[in-house]
Amino acid sequence: MCPSNTDANTTVGARTTVRAASVADFAKAGVADIVSFGQQSRAHLLHTGNKRYPWNDIERPSKIFNYLTINTDMGLLEKLKLRIQALLTWLFIRVLKRSKLEGTEELTLLNEPVKIYTFRKSSDIYAQATPFGTIIWNKTRTEELSTEGQRFVLHHELSHKNRNGIYKGLLYGMAVSGAGGIVILMYSGIFFLLGSSFAELAEPVTTGFLMTVAFAALFRIEETWADYDAVCELGEEKFKSAYDEIGSDHEPTMRSRIIRKLFYTHPDRTVRLYQFLQEKESISVT
């Protein structure tokens, strides 16, 4: 995760304090919100009907709810689901992207409007499908893109979002396993430095390696799948030019380059896969 520009000059100690403070603030804000939510928001939501409310102070989680389109005829479970989704997305941006949720928008780039949760950050990420069925959208980066580039990003993320539940479950399960594999490999490294022999470490290293590689392989399949869906929607030429645009608009960090190499399939290969499958399909139809 790239640190934001603002804290680039602060010392490690200061940064730790800032983080600890924001966690404490969050916990405080969370408790205060749960208490006040029951008293205020219930009455508020009952009267707001279909309206949307802009908010200025995004620090308080309950403000997120003001941005949701809550219809009075929605079932209780539906409303609850929307609120939980919004809260988890807020948390996702806050903790994993170290940024603030800006608001929600309906993008009209595709045939159907797509709801996105916006934030700003000068990092390599354009957008991401969260595990909570929402899409987060980095305005700092996406505003630099052409409409076609934005369409590509949106198609790619929608593909992740709409992936079938069983496969998604498998992917997230494997993510936990992959993280476990990395921990096992790290411990094996420590034991090796402490004097353990290759023979003693062969089993944990093999297990850790397989757990990590299995996740990396599945992740790569998932990314190729999302790109493949984007080619199907955009066509080969627009897909390639959008990919070029994303690859060339700024200098990617070393970390992003490694991640790209390991987890993403080259666009030309995805296009070849697309052509191959199209050919197969046309043969089976005729």
In eight-state DSSP terms, residue 5 is G
User: Is 127 an interacting residue with respect to Zn ion (CB under 5 A)?
Assistant: no
Compute the least distance from the CB of residue 3 to Zn ion, in Å.
Answer: 23
Please identify, using beta-carbon distances, which residue of 218 and 226 lies nearer to Zn ion: 226
Interface characters, 170-209, with Zn ion (x: CB under 5 A)? ----------------------------------------
Minimum Å gap between C-beta 234 and Zn ion is 15
Residue of 226, 230, 231, 246 that binds Zn ion (CB under 5 A): 226
Q: Which stretch binds Zn ion (CB under 5 A): 13-21, 189-197, 220-228, 274-282?
A: 220-228
Kindly report the three-state secondary structure assignment for every residue of 174-207: HHHHHHHHHHHHHHHHHHHHCCCCHHHHHHHHHH
| 208 neighbors 181 (Cβ within 8 angstroms) | yes
* Closest separation in Å from C-beta 224 to Zn ion: 9
3-state secondary structure of 145: coil
- Does position 158 bind Zn ion by CB under 5 A? no
Q: How far is the CB of 2 from Zn ion (least distance, A)?
A: 18
70 binds Zn ion (CB under 5 A): no
The reply to whether 136 sits near Zn ion by the rule CB under 5 A is: no
Contact of 45 with 65, CB cutoff 8 Å: yes
Question: In angstroms, rounded to a whole number, what is the distance separating the alpha carbons of residues 113 and 107?
Answer: 5
Where are any strands of DSSP class E within 26-174?
101-107, 114-119, 127-129, 135-138
Residue 119 vs 228, nearer CB to Zn ion: 228
Neighbours of 174 (CB within 10 A): 20
- Binding part of the chain for Zn ion, among 88-96, 136-144, 166-174, 219-227 by CB under 5 A, reads 219-227
What's the closest the beta carbon of residue 243 comes to Zn ion, in angstroms?
12
Rounded to a whole number of angstroms, the minimum distance from the CB of residue 141 to Zn ion is 14
* Nearer to Zn ion (CB atom), residue 38 or residue 247: 247
Distance CA 104, CA 49 (A): 17
Report the alpha-carbon distance of residue 214 to residue 184 in Å, rounded: 14
d(CA 82, CA 212): 34
Minimum CB–partner distance for residue 157 and Zn ion (Å): 7
For residues 33 and 229, which CB has a smaller minimum distance to Zn ion in the complex?
229
**Toward Zn ion, which CB reaches closer, 61 or 178?**
178
Which residues touch 25 (CB under 8 Å, ≥6 apart)?
A: 59
Closer residue to Zn ion (CB): 223 or 233 = 223
Side chain identity, residue 205 = V
226 touches 159 (CB < 8 A) = yes
- Closest CB to Zn ion among 226 and 231? 226
Residue ranges that bind Zn ion, judged by CB under 5 A: 223, 226
